[in-house]
Amino acid sequence: MEFSEKIKENIRQNNGWLQVINVDDGRVVNSLETSDNVQALYSMSDLVNIKSGDFQSSYKYKYWMLNENLMTLYGYPSTSEQLLDEVGNEEVLSSSSFQEKLQKQEGWYLIYNETGDVEDRYNDPQNISKGVVFSDKTPVSNNDYDIATTHLSDNKILVLGVPSESLHTAKSLDNELGVSVLVNLGILLLCVIISLVLLSYYHARRWGIPIIYMLDWIENLANNQLEKPLDLYRTNKRGKIRFPRVFSTIHESLGTLTHKLQENKRHNEKLIQMREDWIAGLSHDLKTPLSSMVGYAVLLKSPNYEWSASEIQTIGNSLHSKGTYIQSLIEDLSLTYRLKYDSLPLQKENLEVASLLKEIIIEFLNHPDYSSYNVEFSDETENPIIFPMDAKWFKRIIGNLLANAVKHNETTTKIMVKLYSEKKEFHISVEDNGVGMDEVTVENLFTKYYRGTSTTINQEGSGLGLAITKQLVEAHNGKIEVISKKGVGTRIKLTFSLLVS
């Protein structure tokens, strides 16, 4: 039989000893830390007294059965017996050195005379009773006291007691546990506070900063500051805010919205500038003929001059021309607003497209200003195309495109009008091999108030002609697109769906 290291360590720490006894013959078969005053052989009576608690010894002891043949006996020192060994007579009891030692041990003693009355006492507890003092059981009184007794002279009995080791251990353990609990609770509370602070900091950076950043962004947009807020909330070394996935869509939407608003702002500023330029140009265009008309009116009302018939006719023609020009400017402005708000009623009827195009081209070439231009028509369709349209405004569409082609080109320019179809659509293209346009002009060709940058002609006109053309094409459920290259020529294509009833 061998003892584990843990058992050995516990025995040494408690100044105890351990024996394994064969109950059949009382022989000690193994022991640990036993001194010379510990029995090495036990009688049957000793074993019975050990089990009943009546075994007399200077040690306190505990036992347990390993099996039916082997008993383990654990003994540990009795403080009261050790103190009692120091007492030789009553003079020792009353000495200051012994009482000081007893005081340190929180011990006490009582001396009883032969009648059972207390003759002398020292530091005895108030709740001690004779039942406890003279109990024949060891230990006594729920292990509160380690008590030893001896006979003095004159039939006196000395009872000496100290708090039992179990009581001291319990008190010490209570104190240690109390301190440990308080310390651990403090540590736990501190850990909880630190964890909450760190967790709050983490969530503030992970969730709070992106939210604040986006709120600042929205506030900027609300205040017409079409840009991201200053990057004051950097969360990594690269200086960028990391947006959790739940915010990524919102972040992207804000970016798209900001970009769109910036584009709209630039477009509006550009449109406002063009409108201001248009108003200035239109004012000039109106002022020039009006000045002539006012001048002629002043001359006509003068009584100091007799006008000949030819002079009056010349003045009348000039007034009519300039009045017509002013009227056309006003009509263009009115028309574009009527088209914008869908207040222009179209009188649509099913017409044969090729025939209408031929008629428009003939009328265009019969105009004295355009008769010198080379305009050709090509019908590339296999079958006649019937399409619902308003003849008046459709003529305006083609007329505007032809007028634009001759207005910006020389008389030697070749202009081709083509009609062709594919799938469920038909197309009308107006092509020329003239001077062409740059990208800026192409981009703004159908923009209101834009007059282009050609230097071959003066910039008279409302600046609404092609914008009106686009609106009229869309009113016929069509599309218009332009392809042009500087020095090569221009091609404007109209597309209409044959499925439109």
How would you write 427-483 as a 3-class SS string? EEEEEECCCCCCHHHHHHCCCCCCCCCCCCCCCCCCCCHHHHHHHHHHHCCEEEEEE
Query: Which of 161-170, 325-334, 415-424 bottoms out in mean pLDDT, i.e. has the lowest?
Result: 161-170
Tokens standing for 390?
């308003």
Give yes or no for a cis peptide into 139 (omega within 30° of 0): yes
Mean pLDDT (whole number) for 139-150: 62
Angstrom distance (rounded) from CA 496 to CA 308: 55
Dihedral angle computed from the Cα positions of residues 92, 95, 97 and 103, in that order, rounded to the nearest 10 degrees? 100
Give yes or no for a cis peptide into 388 (omega within 30° of 0): no
Please, what is the Cα angle at 434 between 429 and 437, to 5 degrees?
A: 85
Residue 321: what pLDDT? Answer: 82
Angstrom distance (rounded) from CA 462 to CA 285: 9
Instruction: Say if residues 210 and 244 touch (Cβ distance below 8 Å).
Output: yes
Query: Which of 57-61, 165-169, 197-201 bottoms out in mean pLDDT, i.e. has the lowest?
Result: 165-169
Q: Is the dihedral of CA 402, 404, 405, 411 positive or negative?
A: positive
Residue 170: what pLDDT? Answer: 44
Task: Tally Cβ neighbours within 10 Å of residue 161.
Answer: 29
Q: Where are the alpha helices (DSSP H) in 302-423?
A: 309-340, 353-366, 391-407
pLDDT at residue 115 is higher than 70: yes
DSSP 8-state symbol, 37: T
Tokens standing for 467?
């914008």
Query: Which of 67-76, 80-89, 252-261, 427-436 bottoms out in mean pLDDT, i.e. has the lowest?
Result: 80-89
Residue 214: what pLDDT? Answer: 84
Please, what is the Cα angle at 371 between 370 and 376, to 5 degrees?
A: 90
Nearest CA among 292, 336, 338, 345 for reference residue 316:
292
Q: Which segment, 113-117, 304-308, 474-478, is predicted with the most confidence on average?
A: 474-478
Residue 209: what pLDDT? Answer: 77
Which helix (DSSP H) or strand (DSSP E) does residue 121 occupy? strand 118-122
DSSP 8-state symbol, 368: T
Angstrom distance (rounded) from CA 110 to CA 148: 11
Q: Which segment, 207-221, 264-278, 306-320, 378-392, is predicted with the most confidence on average?
A: 378-392
Tokens standing for 94?
């009353």
Mean pLDDT (whole number) for 113-125: 82
Find where tokens 């007329």 sit.
399
Strands 145-151 and 118-122: unpaired
Place 456 in a pLDDT band, splitting at 50, 70 and 90.
very low
Residue 137: what pLDDT? Answer: 45
Residue 107: what pLDDT? Answer: 85
Residue 177: what pLDDT? Answer: 56
List CB contacts of 92: < 8 A, sequence separation 6 or more.
86, 98
Q: Which segment, 276-280, 305-309, 373-377, is predicted with the most confidence on average?
A: 373-377
Task: Tally Cβ neighbours within 10 Å of residue 139.
Answer: 20
Q: Which segment, 35-39, 41-45, 146-150, 359-363, is predicted with the most confidence on average?
A: 359-363
Query: Which of 74-88, 303-317, 372-386 bottoms out in mean pLDDT, i.e. has the lowest?
Result: 74-88
Residue bearing the bigger pLDDT, 151 or 196: 196
Find where tokens 């003279």 sit.
134
Mean pLDDT (whole number) for 66-83: 80
**Multiple choice CATH, 345-497, 2.60.120.590, 3.30.565.10, 3.40.30.10, 3.60.10.10:** 3.30.565.10
Place 454 in a pLDDT band, splitting at 50, 70 and 90.
very low
* Residue 236: φ, ψ to 5°: -145, 175
Helix or strand or coil: residue 110? strand
pLDDT tens digits, one per residue of 91-101: 777 788 888 88
pLDDT at residue 416 is higher than 90: yes
Residue 225: what pLDDT? Answer: 84
Mean pLDDT (whole number) for 189-193: 93
Q: Which segment, 90-99, 349-358, 405-414, is predicted with the most confidence on average?
A: 349-358
Residue 132: what pLDDT? Answer: 57
Place 141 in a pLDDT band, splitting at 50, 70 and 90.
very low
407-433 burial, b for 16+ CB within 10 Å, e for fewer?
bbbeeebebbbbbebeeeebbbbbbbb
* Termini Cα distance of the chain: 111
Task: Give the number of C-alpha atoms closer than 13 A to the C-alpha of residue 144, restricted to the C-beta side.
Answer: 10
Helix or strand or coil: residue 241? coil
Which helix (DSSP H) or strand (DSSP E) does residue 211 occupy? helix 209-222
pLDDT tens digits, one per residue of 37-53: 788 888 888 888 888 77
Angstrom distance (rounded) from CA 41 to CA 303: 168
Tokens standing for 32?
């640990």
Place 464 in a pLDDT band, splitting at 50, 70 and 90.
low
* Residue 123: φ, ψ to 5°: 55, 25
Place 236 in a pLDDT band, splitting at 50, 70 and 90.
low
* Backbone Cα Rg of the chain: 60
Residue bearing the bigger pLDDT, 126 or 24: 24
Residue bearing the bigger pLDDT, 248 or 129: 248
Please, what is the Cα angle at 301 between 295 and 306, to 5 degrees?
A: 105
Tokens standing for 428?
């009308």
Tokens standing for 308?
């000949």
Mean pLDDT (whole number) for 452-474: 65
Residue 234: what pLDDT? Answer: 55
